[in-house]
Amino acid sequence: MSEILICKSCKSTWGGDRETTISCPDCKESLLPLQISTDVWRSYSQEQKDSIKDKFLDDLKKSEGSLSPYHVMESYMRNMDKNIQTIKSIMIFFTVLWGIFILIAIFSLG
């Protein structure tokens, strides 16, 4: 689903997918989802868009010490994905290593 993402540094908004669009094209900071679809966003006036952006960024500043459950879960899932990728790489390495040892043992016995 395409939705609107906002950069808290430069306050620019971008349409995209929160799973693939992670950094702002302008300043390379992390993008946060406004939880508004791009179709709905296009129907708003510029004043409405500015108001939504300002309210979101104000709420974000107020809750910086205590992140919402959504942001905590998103961070947790990203860290879990990194850990799974690391475990996968380690398993592949040891599988190849054991394969090499088995081949050496077969050729040395034969």
Is 89 in the same domain as 54?
no
Judge whether residue 104 has pLDDT over 90. Answer: yes
Give the burial string for 20-59 (b: 16+ CB within 10 Å, else e): ebeebeeeeeebbbbebeeeebeeeeeeebeebbeebeee
Looking at every residue in the chain, the average pLDDT score rounds to 84
Is 32 in the same domain as 61?
yes
Is 39 in the same domain as 84?
no
6 vs 102: which has the higher pLDDT: 102
Q: How many domains does the chain have?
A: 2
Is 22 in the same domain as 62?
yes
SS3 state at 28: coil
Say what the pLDDT of residue 65 is: 59
What's the mean pLDDT in 57-71? 71
SS3 state at 102: helix
Judge whether residue 67 has pLDDT over 70. Answer: no
Q: Each residue of 19-40: pLDDT tens digit? A: 776 778 888 788 888 888 888 8
Ramachandran category for residue 35: left, alpha or beta (phi over 0 → left; psi -120 to 50 → alpha): left
Contact between residue 3 and residue 56 where contact means Cβ atoms under 8 Å apart: no
- Domain residues for the domain of 99 are 67-110
Is 6 in the same domain as 55?
yes
Is 45 in the same domain as 22?
yes
Q: Report which residue type is found at 75.
A: S
Is 88 in the same domain as 110?
yes
Is 3 in the same domain as 49?
yes
Is 62 in the same domain as 73?
no
pTM of the model: 0.53
